[in-house]
A and B are shown apart, each in its own frame.
Chain A
Amino acid sequence: MKSTCYHCGDECGSTTIRFDEKTFCCNGCKAVFEIFSSNDLSCYYDLQQSPGAIPREVEGKYDFLDNTSITEKLLEFDDGKTQIINLYIPHIHCSSCIWVLENLNKLNPAAISSQVNFGKKTVRISFSSDRISLKELVLQLSGIGYEPYISLEDYSTGSKKISRDIIYKLGVAGFAFGNVMFLSFPEYFEVNEYWLEQYKHLFRWLMFAFSVPTVFYSGKDYFISAYKGLRSGLLNIDVPIALGISVLFIRSTAEIIFDLGSGFFDSLTGLIFFLLLGRFFQQKTYAFLSFERDYRSYFPIAITKIDPDKKEESIQVYDIKQGDRLLIRNEELIPVDGILINGNALVDYSFVTGESNPVQKSSGEKLFAGGKQLSGVIEMEALKSVEQSYLTQLWSNDVFSKDKTSRFQTLTDSISKRFTIAVLAIAAIASLYWMFADPSKVLNVFTAVLIIACPCAIALASPFTLGNLLRILGKKKFYLKNASVIEQLAKVDTIIFDKTGTITTNNTANILYEGNPLSEEEAVLLKSTLRASNHPLSRQLYELLAEYDIRTLDDYKEYVGKGLEAHAGSHKIKVGSAAFVEQSSNSGSDNTAVHISADDHYKGQFIFHNEYRQGLPELFNSLDREYELAILSGDNEGEKAYLQQMLPVNTSFHFNRKPDGKLEDIKSLQQQDKTVMMIGDGLNDAGALAQSDVGVAISEDVNVFSPACDAILDASKFRFLPDYIKASKKAIGIIKWSFLLSLIYNITGLYFAVTGQLQPVIAAILMPLSSISIVVFTTLATNMICRKMK
């Protein structure tokens, strides 16, 4: 019978622990349950089934929190008695999490209050510092399975400011729009009664008063953007908008000063309100994701340094100097390049390369920054400082400081250029005509054309289409940085994939056995030998041999970096590298392999093939028709033949690429006028992702890890990528149709303007009508194209 853990929901396997009529997968989970049930917090399990996480071993990991110069930078507030800290906790995922974290006070009265921000996965805790230290608080959180994630990034940025600018602007514009509409009602219905005649000046000046902050505060971005565009010789969409806004405002003000009419204050405020609404809608951000991450998000804040007199001390990683002796504990990240002095290093470079199999290192060998130590405590000597390490140096490349969006022209900008020229031409021709027909109307017509041609609908088409698609894709777990990424996505003609971690999965390897078959007895012996080893390859092989029994071993030895040796009865088995099991002939494969010999006879090898993602050949085949495809890998060519057979013939392969080599490869493709999409996962792809036109990071767990990029794709949705690209292309089509639609409105309006009969009420009807119909059209159309998408 299989049972799942009451706390974390994992399968319990063979070591089920029973407690209080519930099953637990490990002692950690049981301990958390005991803490909760003894503190009246068992509601935790009622809100959501098995919501917990296994508490991890954190012994010594947070010692740096004793160092006040470090905690000072992390704390948001500190008055000596009360301290406030905002902690990022990746495990926050359900209502139970919110509930238990906000009831932290029950668990420990020293935590005065706590507030969760679910979207950002953070918890803000105020606690009395004389009763509990920050370190104790963090340890307590880790103890209940909510381990905070504290990285170097928290240290350097301090508290971030949230921009609420757009909400204020939208509020002001909406407020003014509503009130101006309300005040213009009498004039809409042309109530010619005595009282209106008497009070209309008051009404008009009130409208003026409401418009002033709308134009000069809410609308100021359009003026700034138009000015910037003009200065760099670009007629962007904000130029006709700014022109429209200023003409509306000046003409309306002139009208009420000289008592010519009531002006267009309603259209003016409405225009700004709708434009800002579009901007607000487009500005969908995923609070829990970050698209700007660099190595700082993964590196620890502090590390243990060993002084010459053997004293251990926590120091800030930026303070690491060449020659420092560092202590790296189990599961800790190596922050700088260095040389291993002491201990067995088993380094997981998956953060850096995406390669999931850890690398064994023995003392004297070089360690690179970014790897994670997996087997116990090691000592190393720093060779470089943090910024100068091999991996971190990549960030000094200037692609990281360039702003990507300024590199290309959006669809809206390219159409607005023609549009602006056309509008100015029409205005000039119409004025010229009226100059002869009726000179008194010239100014009226000229301004009317500029007002009615204000491309509100055009400006709205793209934000609403792209904003809506952004939201839909976000629900499908394809998270885009901003709306302009969709436009770029539609233009892509070359797609480059990283190999390890991108088209392969990190979870399981495909293990094949080559050689003489193992007898039942040998297999049992092999399994029993593997059982004692903690090496990840041993663990994977052990799982593979699940069906066999276990026998007791008489003797067992583990040779670090080489392999295992065991005796049982008269039999002897050796497991490990080719050299260790005395296998001289090389199989010629560059793949990771574990060799076996029994009773000094070579038996064969287990080869660890990468496990490719589900649907990979289909994905490549469907993309092959329209795109140029390539694989760009930092690995050796071991898998080349296999990949060539699996993927379309036109796919090109590039192996042994260093991080900056990948960047250069992309650059040279772009110089051939290709629009390149790079799909990668590790920090070693960061340069290529930044250089490419669209950089997509694949991530098994979107909350935890992804390098700086334009989009983050959940690994489970990898095979739907062609659908997403297709959707972005269709979205561009929708935008073009909406341009056509809004042009029809503009032409209708222009008819009234050119013939000199533009009434405020016509403008007031036409403007919101065109905007709303564009919003409705784009929203419905995008929903429709996405309906079929999985």
Chain B
Amino acid sequence: MSVIYVLLTISVIVAIIFFAAFIFSVRSGQYDDAYTPSVRMLFEDELVKDKENKTIKASQEKQS
């Protein structure tokens, strides 16, 4: 029955790890601006596309 000690320890440790992650996220300022990241998330594509175009252009220039 002492397995309950192990289980309890594990569950408390897991809980504390999540709690620490929460504290860390607040400290790093993730909760300060809740709007911009939602827009920024959509931009990544644009940037990648832009870069791809550039590399295509660059490679075309190299070929010619």
Query: Which residues of A are in contact with B by a Cβ distance under 8 Å?
Result: 40, 43, 47, 95, 98-99, 102-103, 115-120, 162, 164, 167-168, 171-172, 175, 178-179, 182, 195, 198-199, 202, 206, 287
Report how far A206 CA is from B54 CA in the complex, Å.
Answer: 59
- Are the C-beta atoms of A198 and B1 separated by less than 8 Å? yes
Q: Does B8 contact A (CB under 8 A)?
A: yes
Interface residues of B (CB under 8 A from A): 1, 4-5, 8, 11-12, 15, 18-19, 22-23, 26-27, 29, 31-36, 39-40, 42-43, 46-47, 50, 54
The answer to whether A175 touches B39 (Cβ under 8 A) is: no
A90 to B15, CA, bound (A): 43
| A389 CA to B62 CA, complexed, in Å | 67
Which residues from A are CB-within-8-Å of B15? 175, 178-179
Q: Say which residue of A40, A116, A167 sits within 8 Å of B31 (CB atoms).
A: A167
Of A40, A102, A179, A206, which is within 8 A of B40 by CB?
A102
In the complex, the answer to whether A118 meets B33 with C-beta atoms within 8 Å is yes
Min C-beta distance of A283 to chain B, whole Å: 13
Q: Which residues of B contact A206 (CB under 8 A)?
A: 8, 12
| CB closest chain-B residue, reference A196 | B4
Give the complex CA separation of A162 and B27 in angstroms.
Answer: 11
Contact partners of A164 in chain B: CB under 8 A: 26-27, 31-32
- Assembled-state Cα–Cα distance A202/B18 (Å): 22
Q: Is the interface of A mostly helix, strand, loop or mixed?
A: helix
**21 contacts across the A-B interface (CB closer than 8 A):** A43-B46, A95-B43, A98-B36, A98-B39, A99-B43, A103-B47, A118-B39, A119-B34, A119-B35, A162-B29, A164-B31, A164-B32, A167-B26, A168-B23, A175-B15, A178-B15, A179-B12, A179-B15, A182-B11, A195-B1, A202-B5
Q: How far, in whole Å, are A287 and B35 apart by their CA atoms in the complex?
A: 11
B26 & A116 in contact (Cβ 8 Å cutoff)? no
Contacts of B1 in A (CB 8 A): 195, 198
Query: Which residue in B5, B27, B33, B47 is a CB contact (below 8 Å) of A117?
Result: B33
* Contact between chains at B40 and A171 (CB < 8 Å): no
Judge whether A171 and B26 touch: CB under 8 Å: yes
In the assembly, what is the distance between CA of A118 and CA of B33, in Å?
A: 8
B21 CB → nearest A CB, Å = 10
For residue B34, which residues in chain A have a CB less than 8 angstroms away from its CB?
119
Verify A168–B47 contact, CB threshold 8 A. no
Q: Which residue of A lies closest to B33 (CB)?
A: A117
A residues within 8 A CB of B43? 95, 98-99, 102
Known A-B contacts A43-B50, A99-B43, A167-B26; A117 and B36 likewise in contact (beta carbons under 8 Å): yes
CB distance from A717 to the nearest CB of B (A): 22
Nearest-Cβ distance from residue A785 to partner chain B, whole angstroms = 27
CB-CB under 8 A from A115, the residues of chain B are 36
Q: Which residues of B contact A179 (CB under 8 A)?
A: 12, 15
Residue of A nearest to B39 (CB): A95
Cα-based distance from A117 to B34 in the complex (angstroms): 9
Q: Is the CB of B36 within 8 A of A116?
A: yes
Considering the complex, give the chain A residue whose CB is closest to the CB of B19: A175
What residues of B have a CB within 8 angstroms of the CB of A195 in the complex?
Answer: 1, 4
| Complex: A119 Cα to B37 Cα, angstroms | 11
Which A residues are in CB contact (< 8 Å) with B31? 164, 167
Complex partner residue of B8 from A99, A168, A202, CB under 8 angstroms: A202
CB distance from B31 to the nearest CB of A (A): 6
- A contact residues around B36 at 8 Å (CB): 98, 115-119
Residues of the B chain whose Cβ atoms lie less than 8 Å from the Cβ of A116: 36, 40
With a cutoff of 8 Å between Cβ atoms, the chain A residues found around residue B27 in the complex are: 164
A353 to B50 Cα, complex, angstroms: 50
Alpha-carbon separation in the docked complex, A168 to B50 (Å):
40
Alpha-carbon distance between A287 and B11 when the two chains are bound, in angstroms: 38
Residues of A within 8 A of B47 (CB): 103
- Bound: A195/B7 CA distance, A: 14
Residues on the B chain within 8 Å of A40, using CB: 50, 54
Alpha-carbon separation in the docked complex, A179 to B19 (Å): 11
Known pairs A162-B29, A172-B19 / 20 extra A-B pairs, C-beta < 8 Å: A40-B54, A43-B50, A98-B36, A98-B40, A117-B32, A117-B33, A118-B33, A118-B35, A119-B36, A168-B26, A171-B19, A175-B19, A175-B22, A178-B15, A195-B1, A198-B1, A199-B4, A202-B5, A202-B8, A206-B8
Q: CB distance B33 to A171 under 8 Å?
A: no
Chain B residues whose CB sits within 8 angstroms of the CB of A175 once the complex forms: 15, 18-19, 22
Q: In the complex, what residues of B have CB within 8 A of residue A202's CB?
A: 5, 8
A99 vs B32: C-alpha distance in the bound complex, in angstroms? 19
Residue of B nearest to A287 (CB): B33
Chain B residues closer than 8 Å to A287, beta-carbon distance: 33
Residues of chain A within 8 A (CB-CB) of B35 are 118-119
A247 to B36, CA, bound (A): 44
In the A-B complex, the 3 residue pairs with the closest CB atoms? A118-B36, A117-B33, A175-B19
A residues within 8 A CB of B39? 95, 98, 118
Q: How far is the CA of A520 from the CA of B43 in the complex (A)?
A: 57
Query: Once the chains bind, are A171 and B22 in contact (CB under 8 Å)?
Result: yes
Expressed in whole angstroms, the Cα–Cα distance for A179 and B18 within the complex equals: 12
A119 in contact with B33 given A40-B54, A206-B12 (CB within 8 Å): yes
How far is A202 from B1 in the complex, measured between Cα atoms in Å?
14
A182 contacts across to B, CB distance below 8 A: 11
Nearest residue (CB) in A for B50 is A40
Question: CB-nearest residue of chain B relative to A41?
Answer: B50
CA distance A119 to B54 in the complex (A): 33
CB contacts (< 8 Å) of B22 on chain A: these are 171, 175
Q: Which residues of A contact B8 (CB under 8 A)?
A: 202, 206
Tell me how far the C-beta of B38 lies from the nearest C-beta in chain A, rounded to whole angstroms: 9
Cα A456 to Cα B26 in complex, Å, equals 27
